[in-house]
Structure 1
Amino acid sequence: MADVTVSGDYLKFGVDTSGALIDLTSLTGLQFDPTGSGNFGGQPDFLYPGTPFAFYSLGVNGFYDVASPGANAFGTTTAILSLVGTTYVATSGGTYGGLKISQTITFDTTSNILHTAVVLTNVSGHTLNNIAYGVGFDPDQDYDNYSQFNTANTILGQGVGGSVEATGVNTGYTIKLSSTGGWSANAGVYLPWETNPYTLATAATANSYSDSSIGLGYHFDSLKNGKQISIGYDVTVTAVPEPATYGMLLAGLGLIGAAVRRRRSA
Protein backbone atom coordinates (compact mmCIF):
# COMPACT_ATOMS: atom_id res chain seq x y z
CA MET A 1 0.00 0.00 0.00
CA ALA A 2 1.09 3.59 -0.59
CA ASP A 3 1.30 6.37 1.96
CA VAL A 4 -2.01 8.15 2.46
CA THR A 5 -3.23 11.62 3.43
CA VAL A 6 -6.63 12.31 5.00
CA SER A 7 -8.35 15.69 5.44
CA GLY A 8 -11.20 16.77 7.69
CA ASP A 9 -12.68 19.98 9.05
CA TYR A 10 -9.89 20.60 11.57
CA LEU A 11 -7.09 18.19 10.71
CA LYS A 12 -5.14 17.06 7.69
CA PHE A 13 -2.58 14.32 8.31
CA GLY A 14 -0.47 11.71 6.58
CA VAL A 15 0.07 8.05 7.44
CA ASP A 16 3.11 6.11 6.26
CA THR A 17 2.92 2.49 5.07
CA SER A 18 4.58 1.57 8.38
CA GLY A 19 1.54 2.89 10.25
CA ALA A 20 3.43 5.89 11.65
CA LEU A 21 2.22 9.44 11.05
CA ILE A 22 3.65 11.48 8.12
CA ASP A 23 3.10 10.84 4.41
CA LEU A 24 6.48 11.27 2.71
CA THR A 25 4.86 11.10 -0.74
CA SER A 26 2.62 14.14 -0.30
CA LEU A 27 5.04 15.74 2.21
CA THR A 28 2.27 15.90 4.81
CA GLY A 29 2.69 15.46 8.54
CA LEU A 30 -0.20 17.05 10.39
CA GLN A 31 -1.94 20.39 9.81
CA PHE A 32 -4.64 22.15 11.80
CA ASP A 33 -7.37 24.61 10.80
CA PRO A 34 -8.75 26.12 14.03
CA THR A 35 -11.82 27.47 12.20
CA GLY A 36 -13.00 23.98 11.28
CA SER A 37 -13.49 24.97 7.65
CA GLY A 38 -10.98 22.48 6.23
CA ASN A 39 -8.77 25.21 4.77
CA PHE A 40 -5.13 24.21 5.34
CA GLY A 41 -3.50 26.67 2.96
CA GLY A 42 -0.95 28.69 4.92
CA GLN A 43 -1.40 26.54 8.02
CA PRO A 44 1.86 25.20 9.49
CA ASP A 45 2.74 21.52 9.49
CA PHE A 46 3.35 20.12 12.97
CA LEU A 47 5.48 17.12 11.99
CA TYR A 48 7.10 17.57 8.57
CA PRO A 49 9.47 20.59 8.97
CA GLY A 50 13.18 19.99 9.45
CA THR A 51 13.73 16.27 9.96
CA PRO A 52 10.26 14.66 9.87
CA PHE A 53 10.01 12.60 13.03
CA ALA A 54 7.11 10.40 14.11
CA PHE A 55 7.31 6.77 15.19
CA TYR A 56 6.12 3.85 17.25
CA SER A 57 8.43 1.19 18.64
CA LEU A 58 8.13 -2.30 20.05
CA GLY A 59 10.39 -4.18 22.43
CA VAL A 60 10.52 -7.86 23.41
CA ASN A 61 12.98 -9.47 25.84
CA GLY A 62 15.09 -6.30 25.96
CA PHE A 63 15.44 -5.88 22.18
CA TYR A 64 13.43 -3.41 20.12
CA ASP A 65 12.80 -1.96 16.68
CA VAL A 66 11.16 1.19 15.35
CA ALA A 67 8.54 1.94 12.70
CA SER A 68 8.77 5.44 11.21
CA PRO A 69 8.22 7.13 7.84
CA GLY A 70 10.31 5.26 5.30
CA ALA A 71 11.36 2.60 7.84
CA ASN A 72 8.88 -0.27 7.84
CA ALA A 73 10.49 -2.31 10.61
CA PHE A 74 7.62 -4.69 11.31
CA GLY A 75 6.64 -5.49 7.72
CA THR A 76 3.40 -3.58 8.19
CA THR A 77 1.01 -2.41 5.51
CA THR A 78 -1.45 0.44 5.94
CA ALA A 79 -4.88 0.83 4.39
CA ILE A 80 -7.38 3.69 4.62
CA LEU A 81 -10.99 2.55 4.77
CA SER A 82 -14.00 4.85 4.62
CA LEU A 83 -16.52 3.79 7.23
CA VAL A 84 -19.94 5.01 8.36
CA GLY A 85 -20.59 8.72 7.98
CA THR A 86 -17.51 10.89 8.44
CA THR A 87 -15.13 8.32 9.95
CA TYR A 88 -11.89 7.06 8.40
CA VAL A 89 -9.72 4.23 9.71
CA ALA A 90 -6.03 3.57 9.07
CA THR A 91 -5.04 0.00 9.96
CA SER A 92 -1.59 -1.57 10.11
CA GLY A 93 -0.16 -4.82 11.36
CA GLY A 94 3.12 -6.67 11.69
CA THR A 95 5.22 -8.92 13.93
CA TYR A 96 8.36 -8.52 16.02
CA GLY A 97 10.01 -11.11 18.26
CA GLY A 98 6.93 -13.33 18.32
CA LEU A 99 4.69 -10.40 19.20
CA LYS A 100 2.02 -9.44 16.66
CA ILE A 101 1.03 -5.79 16.53
CA SER A 102 -2.26 -4.50 15.15
CA GLN A 103 -2.72 -0.74 15.10
CA THR A 104 -5.84 1.22 14.16
CA ILE A 105 -6.03 5.01 13.79
CA THR A 106 -9.63 6.25 13.84
CA PHE A 107 -10.46 9.75 12.64
CA ASP A 108 -13.81 11.52 12.50
CA THR A 109 -13.47 14.29 9.91
CA THR A 110 -15.47 16.66 12.13
CA SER A 111 -13.04 16.20 15.04
CA ASN A 112 -9.62 17.52 16.10
CA ILE A 113 -8.55 14.17 17.59
CA LEU A 114 -6.82 11.09 16.19
CA HIS A 115 -7.66 7.95 18.18
CA THR A 116 -5.18 5.06 18.06
CA ALA A 117 -5.87 1.54 19.33
CA VAL A 118 -3.00 -0.96 19.56
CA VAL A 119 -3.39 -4.69 20.19
CA LEU A 120 -0.30 -6.76 21.01
CA THR A 121 -0.76 -10.53 20.67
CA ASN A 122 1.74 -13.20 21.67
CA VAL A 123 2.04 -15.60 18.71
CA SER A 124 5.44 -17.02 19.67
CA GLY A 125 4.27 -20.30 21.17
CA HIS A 126 5.74 -19.46 24.58
CA THR A 127 5.64 -16.71 27.21
CA LEU A 128 7.28 -13.42 26.21
CA ASN A 129 8.95 -11.22 28.81
CA ASN A 130 9.99 -7.59 29.18
CA ILE A 131 7.61 -6.10 26.60
CA ALA A 132 7.60 -2.38 25.80
CA TYR A 133 5.72 -0.11 23.41
CA GLY A 134 6.54 3.52 22.65
CA VAL A 135 5.11 6.28 20.49
CA GLY A 136 6.11 9.88 19.88
CA PHE A 137 6.97 12.71 17.51
CA ASP A 138 8.81 16.02 17.22
CA PRO A 139 6.30 18.91 17.13
CA ASP A 140 7.40 21.88 14.99
CA GLN A 141 4.20 23.91 14.55
CA ASP A 142 6.05 27.23 14.91
CA TYR A 143 8.56 26.57 12.14
CA ASP A 144 6.70 27.16 8.86
CA ASN A 145 5.48 30.65 9.75
CA TYR A 146 8.03 31.73 12.39
CA SER A 147 11.20 29.68 11.65
CA GLN A 148 11.18 28.40 15.23
CA PHE A 149 11.69 24.71 16.03
CA ASN A 150 11.27 25.12 19.80
CA THR A 151 7.99 24.38 21.55
CA ALA A 152 6.85 24.69 25.16
CA ASN A 153 6.71 21.05 26.25
CA THR A 154 4.70 20.10 29.33
CA ILE A 155 4.13 16.76 31.05
CA LEU A 156 0.50 16.82 32.18
CA GLY A 157 0.31 13.52 34.04
CA GLN A 158 1.73 10.04 34.52
CA GLY A 159 0.31 6.56 34.93
CA VAL A 160 -3.19 5.73 33.75
CA GLY A 161 -4.21 8.70 31.61
CA GLY A 162 -0.61 9.90 31.30
CA SER A 163 -0.20 12.76 28.83
CA VAL A 164 2.24 15.32 27.45
CA GLU A 165 1.74 18.34 25.21
CA ALA A 166 3.75 20.79 23.11
CA THR A 167 2.63 24.37 22.45
CA GLY A 168 3.94 26.71 19.77
CA VAL A 169 4.35 30.02 21.57
CA ASN A 170 3.94 31.94 18.29
CA THR A 171 1.06 30.08 16.64
CA GLY A 172 -0.63 29.23 19.93
CA TYR A 173 -1.26 25.74 18.56
CA THR A 174 -0.99 22.84 21.00
CA ILE A 175 -0.60 19.14 20.22
CA LYS A 176 -1.24 16.66 23.03
CA LEU A 177 -0.39 12.96 23.25
CA SER A 178 -2.48 11.20 25.90
CA SER A 179 -2.99 7.61 27.00
CA THR A 180 -6.63 6.51 26.88
CA GLY A 181 -6.45 2.83 27.86
CA GLY A 182 -6.38 1.34 31.32
CA TRP A 183 -2.62 0.76 31.32
CA SER A 184 -0.05 2.96 33.00
CA ALA A 185 1.92 5.16 30.59
CA ASN A 186 5.09 7.15 31.12
CA ALA A 187 4.84 10.59 29.47
CA GLY A 188 8.07 12.37 28.60
CA VAL A 189 9.97 15.15 26.83
CA TYR A 190 13.17 14.10 25.05
CA LEU A 191 16.24 15.92 23.77
CA PRO A 192 17.89 14.25 21.97
CA TRP A 193 14.82 12.62 20.46
CA GLU A 194 14.09 9.15 21.79
CA THR A 195 12.61 6.03 20.13
CA ASN A 196 13.71 3.26 22.53
CA PRO A 197 10.44 1.97 24.06
CA TYR A 198 12.22 0.86 27.23
CA THR A 199 13.55 4.38 27.79
CA LEU A 200 10.17 5.89 26.93
CA ALA A 201 8.50 3.61 29.48
CA THR A 202 10.84 4.41 32.37
CA ALA A 203 12.76 7.68 31.94
CA ALA A 204 12.02 10.63 34.20
CA THR A 205 12.11 13.83 32.14
CA ALA A 206 11.26 17.49 32.69
CA ASN A 207 9.24 20.24 31.03
CA SER A 208 11.21 22.44 28.64
CA TYR A 209 11.13 25.06 25.94
CA SER A 210 13.22 23.29 23.31
CA ASP A 211 13.29 21.36 20.03
CA SER A 212 12.36 18.17 21.86
CA SER A 213 10.21 15.20 20.98
CA ILE A 214 7.31 14.15 23.18
CA GLY A 215 6.31 10.55 23.78
CA LEU A 216 4.50 7.85 25.71
CA GLY A 217 5.98 4.55 26.85
CA TYR A 218 4.36 1.37 28.17
CA HIS A 219 6.01 -1.62 29.86
CA PHE A 220 4.66 -5.10 30.61
CA ASP A 221 6.50 -7.79 32.57
CA SER A 222 5.23 -10.77 30.58
CA LEU A 223 2.57 -12.04 28.19
CA LYS A 224 1.54 -15.67 27.87
CA ASN A 225 1.20 -17.34 24.48
CA GLY A 226 -2.07 -16.44 22.75
CA LYS A 227 -2.84 -13.58 25.15
CA GLN A 228 -3.32 -9.93 24.19
CA ILE A 229 -2.60 -6.45 25.52
CA SER A 230 -4.70 -3.50 24.32
CA ILE A 231 -3.31 0.04 24.43
CA GLY A 232 -4.99 3.30 23.45
CA TYR A 233 -3.82 6.86 22.98
CA ASP A 234 -5.03 10.10 21.38
CA VAL A 235 -3.38 12.91 19.47
CA THR A 236 -5.37 16.11 20.09
CA VAL A 237 -4.71 19.48 18.43
CA THR A 238 -6.11 22.75 19.79
CA ALA A 239 -5.55 26.50 19.54
CA VAL A 240 -4.62 28.40 22.69
CA PRO A 241 -6.48 31.75 22.76
CA GLU A 242 -4.27 34.80 22.30
CA PRO A 243 -4.19 37.44 25.10
CA ALA A 244 -6.57 39.66 23.12
CA THR A 245 -8.98 36.76 22.86
CA TYR A 246 -8.84 36.23 26.62
CA GLY A 247 -9.63 39.93 27.08
CA MET A 248 -12.64 39.73 24.78
CA LEU A 249 -13.83 36.59 26.56
CA LEU A 250 -13.57 38.21 29.99
CA ALA A 251 -15.27 41.36 28.71
CA GLY A 252 -18.06 39.23 27.29
CA LEU A 253 -18.51 37.42 30.58
CA GLY A 254 -18.67 40.80 32.33
CA LEU A 255 -21.42 41.99 30.01
CA ILE A 256 -23.36 38.79 30.55
CA GLY A 257 -23.02 39.19 34.32
CA ALA A 258 -24.24 42.79 34.14
CA ALA A 259 -27.24 41.75 32.07
CA VAL A 260 -28.12 39.04 34.58
CA ARG A 261 -27.88 41.52 37.45
CA ARG A 262 -30.16 43.98 35.62
CA ARG A 263 -32.76 41.27 35.02
CA ARG A 264 -32.67 40.26 38.68
CA SER A 265 -33.13 43.86 39.85
CA ALA A 266 -36.00 44.52 37.42
Structure 2
Amino acid sequence: MKMKTIAASLLATLSLASASAMAASYDVAISGTPVIYTNTNLLSNVSFAGFNTALGTLTGVSIKLDADVDGKVYVLNDSNVLKSGYVALDVLLGFGTGSSASTFYTGQLYNQTYTLAAGDDVTLGQHGLVSASTNFSSGLDYFKTASVSGLTGVNAVSHTTGGEDVVTAFTTQVLATGTVTYTYTAAPVPEPETYGMLLVGLGLMGVVARRKRASTQA
Protein backbone atom coordinates (compact mmCIF):
# COMPACT_ATOMS: atom_id res chain seq x y z
CA MET A 1 0.00 0.00 0.00
CA LYS A 2 2.81 2.38 0.91
CA MET A 3 4.60 1.61 -2.35
CA LYS A 4 1.49 2.48 -4.36
CA THR A 5 1.18 5.77 -2.48
CA ILE A 6 4.82 6.66 -3.14
CA ALA A 7 4.50 5.75 -6.82
CA ALA A 8 1.39 7.90 -7.19
CA SER A 9 3.07 10.83 -5.47
CA LEU A 10 6.14 10.44 -7.66
CA LEU A 11 4.01 10.38 -10.81
CA ALA A 12 2.16 13.54 -9.77
CA THR A 13 5.41 15.32 -8.96
CA LEU A 14 6.98 14.39 -12.29
CA SER A 15 3.84 15.51 -14.13
CA LEU A 16 4.07 18.97 -12.53
CA ALA A 17 7.78 19.17 -13.31
CA SER A 18 7.19 18.20 -16.93
CA ALA A 19 4.49 20.84 -17.28
CA SER A 20 6.92 23.50 -16.06
CA ALA A 21 9.41 22.35 -18.73
CA MET A 22 6.97 22.70 -21.64
CA ALA A 23 8.06 24.70 -24.72
CA ALA A 24 7.53 28.46 -24.65
CA SER A 25 7.95 31.34 -27.09
CA TYR A 26 11.06 33.50 -26.90
CA ASP A 27 12.44 36.50 -28.76
CA VAL A 28 16.06 37.12 -29.68
CA ALA A 29 17.05 40.43 -31.29
CA ILE A 30 20.16 40.75 -33.46
CA SER A 31 21.51 44.10 -34.66
CA GLY A 32 22.71 44.40 -38.21
CA THR A 33 26.16 45.54 -39.25
CA PRO A 34 25.91 49.31 -39.96
CA VAL A 35 26.65 50.47 -43.49
CA ILE A 36 27.82 53.95 -44.45
CA TYR A 37 27.75 55.04 -48.06
CA THR A 38 27.96 58.30 -49.97
CA ASN A 39 26.85 57.60 -53.53
CA THR A 40 23.48 59.08 -54.39
CA ASN A 41 21.90 56.46 -56.66
CA LEU A 42 22.47 53.09 -55.04
CA LEU A 43 21.23 50.10 -53.15
CA SER A 44 23.11 48.72 -50.16
CA ASN A 45 22.59 45.82 -47.76
CA VAL A 46 22.58 45.66 -43.97
CA SER A 47 23.77 42.19 -42.95
CA PHE A 48 22.22 40.19 -40.10
CA ALA A 49 23.16 36.89 -38.52
CA GLY A 50 20.71 34.15 -39.45
CA PHE A 51 18.58 32.35 -36.89
CA ASN A 52 20.41 29.76 -34.80
CA THR A 53 18.34 26.62 -35.35
CA ALA A 54 19.85 25.04 -32.25
CA LEU A 55 17.62 27.36 -30.18
CA GLY A 56 14.41 25.73 -31.36
CA THR A 57 11.72 26.22 -34.02
CA LEU A 58 11.52 29.61 -35.74
CA THR A 59 7.92 30.89 -35.78
CA GLY A 60 8.20 34.55 -36.80
CA VAL A 61 10.59 37.31 -37.87
CA SER A 62 10.38 41.07 -37.35
CA ILE A 63 12.66 43.47 -39.25
CA LYS A 64 13.32 47.13 -38.43
CA LEU A 65 15.52 49.22 -40.70
CA ASP A 66 16.74 52.79 -40.16
CA ALA A 67 18.38 55.12 -42.66
CA ASP A 68 19.99 58.29 -41.36
CA VAL A 69 20.13 60.34 -44.56
CA ASP A 70 21.92 63.64 -45.15
CA GLY A 71 21.02 64.71 -48.67
CA LYS A 72 22.35 67.88 -50.27
CA VAL A 73 22.29 69.11 -53.86
CA TYR A 74 24.10 72.02 -55.47
CA VAL A 75 22.18 73.68 -58.31
CA LEU A 76 23.76 76.12 -60.80
CA ASN A 77 21.97 78.01 -63.54
CA ASP A 78 24.65 77.95 -66.20
CA SER A 79 22.56 79.84 -68.74
CA ASN A 80 21.77 83.49 -69.50
CA VAL A 81 18.03 83.17 -68.77
CA LEU A 82 15.86 82.51 -65.72
CA LYS A 83 15.51 78.81 -64.89
CA SER A 84 13.21 76.95 -62.51
CA GLY A 85 12.73 73.34 -61.53
CA TYR A 86 12.85 70.93 -58.61
CA VAL A 87 15.15 68.38 -56.98
CA ALA A 88 14.12 65.39 -54.87
CA LEU A 89 15.66 62.50 -53.02
CA ASP A 90 13.82 59.19 -52.68
CA VAL A 91 14.62 56.66 -49.94
CA LEU A 92 13.62 53.00 -49.92
CA LEU A 93 13.89 50.26 -47.32
CA GLY A 94 13.27 46.60 -47.92
CA PHE A 95 14.31 43.05 -47.28
CA GLY A 96 15.47 40.27 -49.56
CA THR A 97 13.81 36.87 -49.28
CA GLY A 98 15.56 34.91 -51.99
CA SER A 99 16.46 36.12 -55.45
CA SER A 100 14.42 39.34 -55.28
CA ALA A 101 14.10 42.05 -52.64
CA SER A 102 10.82 43.06 -51.07
CA THR A 103 10.48 46.83 -50.63
CA PHE A 104 8.30 47.65 -47.64
CA TYR A 105 8.91 51.40 -47.49
CA THR A 106 9.53 54.10 -50.07
CA GLY A 107 9.24 57.84 -49.66
CA GLN A 108 10.91 61.16 -50.31
CA LEU A 109 13.33 62.78 -47.90
CA TYR A 110 12.80 66.06 -49.71
CA ASN A 111 11.25 67.58 -52.81
CA GLN A 112 12.27 71.21 -53.23
CA THR A 113 11.72 73.73 -56.02
CA TYR A 114 14.03 76.51 -57.18
CA THR A 115 14.04 79.57 -59.41
CA LEU A 116 17.45 80.87 -60.42
CA ALA A 117 18.50 83.92 -62.37
CA ALA A 118 21.24 83.56 -64.97
CA GLY A 119 24.51 82.47 -63.32
CA ASP A 120 22.96 82.03 -59.86
CA ASP A 121 23.35 78.91 -57.70
CA VAL A 122 21.80 77.43 -54.57
CA THR A 123 22.33 74.48 -52.24
CA LEU A 124 19.19 72.58 -51.29
CA GLY A 125 18.47 69.38 -49.40
CA GLN A 126 17.62 67.98 -46.00
CA HIS A 127 18.81 65.70 -43.21
CA GLY A 128 16.43 63.19 -41.71
CA LEU A 129 15.86 59.72 -40.27
CA VAL A 130 13.72 57.24 -42.17
CA SER A 131 12.51 54.11 -40.35
CA ALA A 132 10.32 51.21 -41.34
CA SER A 133 9.50 47.71 -40.11
CA THR A 134 7.81 44.57 -41.35
CA ASN A 135 6.98 41.07 -40.14
CA PHE A 136 7.30 37.63 -41.68
CA SER A 137 5.32 34.55 -40.64
CA SER A 138 6.06 32.41 -43.70
CA GLY A 139 9.07 31.76 -45.92
CA LEU A 140 11.16 31.51 -42.77
CA ASP A 141 13.76 29.11 -44.21
CA TYR A 142 15.47 32.16 -45.74
CA PHE A 143 16.28 33.41 -42.24
CA LYS A 144 17.99 30.17 -41.20
CA THR A 145 21.06 30.86 -43.33
CA ALA A 146 24.36 32.11 -41.97
CA SER A 147 23.66 35.67 -43.07
CA VAL A 148 20.59 37.56 -44.27
CA SER A 149 20.39 41.09 -45.65
CA GLY A 150 18.24 44.16 -45.28
CA LEU A 151 18.00 46.56 -48.20
CA THR A 152 18.42 50.33 -48.11
CA GLY A 153 18.69 52.72 -51.00
CA VAL A 154 18.54 56.34 -52.14
CA ASN A 155 17.68 57.72 -55.56
CA ALA A 156 18.19 61.30 -56.74
CA VAL A 157 15.65 63.04 -58.96
CA SER A 158 16.33 66.33 -60.79
CA HIS A 159 13.96 68.15 -63.11
CA THR A 160 14.42 71.51 -64.79
CA THR A 161 11.75 73.43 -66.67
CA GLY A 162 13.24 74.27 -70.04
CA GLY A 163 15.75 71.45 -69.84
CA GLU A 164 19.35 72.40 -70.42
CA ASP A 165 22.05 74.55 -68.84
CA VAL A 166 21.26 73.72 -65.20
CA VAL A 167 23.94 71.78 -63.32
CA THR A 168 22.96 69.64 -60.31
CA ALA A 169 25.47 67.92 -58.05
CA PHE A 170 24.02 65.63 -55.36
CA THR A 171 26.00 64.78 -52.22
CA THR A 172 24.26 62.14 -50.12
CA GLN A 173 25.46 60.38 -46.98
CA VAL A 174 23.52 57.49 -45.46
CA LEU A 175 24.06 55.48 -42.27
CA ALA A 176 21.94 52.35 -42.58
CA THR A 177 21.26 50.23 -39.47
CA GLY A 178 18.68 47.69 -38.43
CA THR A 179 17.52 44.96 -36.07
CA VAL A 180 16.03 41.56 -36.77
CA THR A 181 13.98 39.86 -34.04
CA TYR A 182 13.51 36.11 -34.28
CA THR A 183 10.55 34.61 -32.42
CA TYR A 184 10.99 30.92 -31.74
CA THR A 185 9.69 28.06 -29.67
CA ALA A 186 12.34 26.30 -27.64
CA ALA A 187 12.32 22.50 -27.57
CA PRO A 188 11.02 21.09 -24.24
CA VAL A 189 13.98 20.27 -22.01
CA PRO A 190 13.55 18.50 -18.65
CA GLU A 191 14.69 20.73 -15.84
CA PRO A 192 17.46 19.51 -13.47
CA GLU A 193 14.89 19.28 -10.67
CA THR A 194 13.01 16.69 -12.73
CA TYR A 195 15.99 14.34 -12.80
CA GLY A 196 16.63 14.92 -9.10
CA MET A 197 13.08 14.06 -8.10
CA LEU A 198 13.15 11.01 -10.35
CA LEU A 199 16.30 9.66 -8.65
CA VAL A 200 14.91 10.36 -5.19
CA GLY A 201 11.65 8.65 -6.08
CA LEU A 202 13.39 5.58 -7.47
CA GLY A 203 15.54 5.40 -4.35
CA LEU A 204 12.48 5.48 -2.09
CA MET A 205 10.77 2.81 -4.15
CA GLY A 206 13.91 0.66 -3.85
CA VAL A 207 13.95 1.05 -0.05
CA VAL A 208 10.28 0.08 0.21
CA ALA A 209 10.85 -2.95 -2.04
CA ARG A 210 13.79 -4.14 0.10
CA ARG A 211 11.80 -3.76 3.31
CA LYS A 212 8.93 -5.69 1.80
CA ARG A 213 11.24 -8.56 0.80
CA ALA A 214 12.82 -8.56 4.28
CA SER A 215 9.44 -8.75 6.03
CA THR A 216 8.35 -11.60 3.73
CA GLN A 217 11.52 -13.62 4.46
CA ALA A 218 11.06 -13.10 8.19
TM-score by length of 1: 0.28
Higher strand share: 2
Higher helix share: 2
TM-score by length of 2: 0.33
